[in-house]
Amino acid sequence: MIFTVAIDGPAAAGKGTIARAVAARFGFAHLDTGLLYRAVGALGGDPVLAARGLVPDDLAREDLRSLAAGQAASRVAVIPEVRAALTDFQRRFARAEGGAVLDGRDIGTVICPEAEVKLYVTASAQVRAHRRWLELGGDAAQVLAEVVERDKRDSERATAPLKPAADALVLDTSDMGIEQAVARAIATVEERLKA
């Protein structure tokens, strides 16, 4: 069975947690596409060469969840040649036999516009910054400033800007517990699988 669940949204909205839960529930493969960009940014050097030479081991680096890696990912993600180098990898993953869940910024709009399910997970910048601060620590005002800066860069980039697909279900997790958000996502996938 080929079945793709595309989950998009800004940083710290909960899309990764939801994606892992959906993949586990249905036995689908999961790809956090942000790790691809984080790995390219963390590798340093020429980002285009890094993207073209990316190997699975590069996605296992311990430092890929850091705030610095997230900022680096956002910077390299605006480079069209980097995006092109990583697009084919993501599309092959998405349409492999057995089902797949991909989470990122442009899965439902660019990478997999044919996905059977599209979700856009979001929350206010203040809520997302607080979540990131709880996870990583640091100066709360600085974390908020970085979240706002990243949102602006991701949503205003010329290539594949962050935005919900026209046919995506929008899940605003600002006032929603993770259990509720996961249940809503699972119900959406179950409805589509039955259809």
Q: Tell me: the pLDDT tens digits for 31-43?
A: 999 899 999 999 9
Which pLDDT score, from 0 to 100, does residue 88 have?
A: 85
What contacts 170, CB < 8 A, 6 or more positions away? 119, 120, 122, 164
Q: What is the mean pLDDT of the chain?
A: 93
**Binding site residues, as ranges?**
9-17
DSSP 98-152: T-EEEEESSIIIII-TT-SEEEEEE--HHHHHHHHHHHH-S-HHHHHHHHHHHHH
Please tell me the CATH code under which domain 4-190 is placed. 3.40.50.300
Q: Which residues are annotated as a binding site for ATP?
A: 9-17
Residue 5: strand, helix, or coil:
strand
Nearest to 76 by CA among 112, 36, 136: 36
**According to the model, what pLDDT value does residue 147 have?**
92
- Whether the predicted pLDDT of 56 surpasses 80: no
Residue type, 119: L
Band the pLDDT of 192: cuts 50, 70, 90: very high
Q: How confident is the model at residue 104 (pLDDT cuts 50, 70, 90)?
A: very high
Average pLDDT over residues 91-100: 93
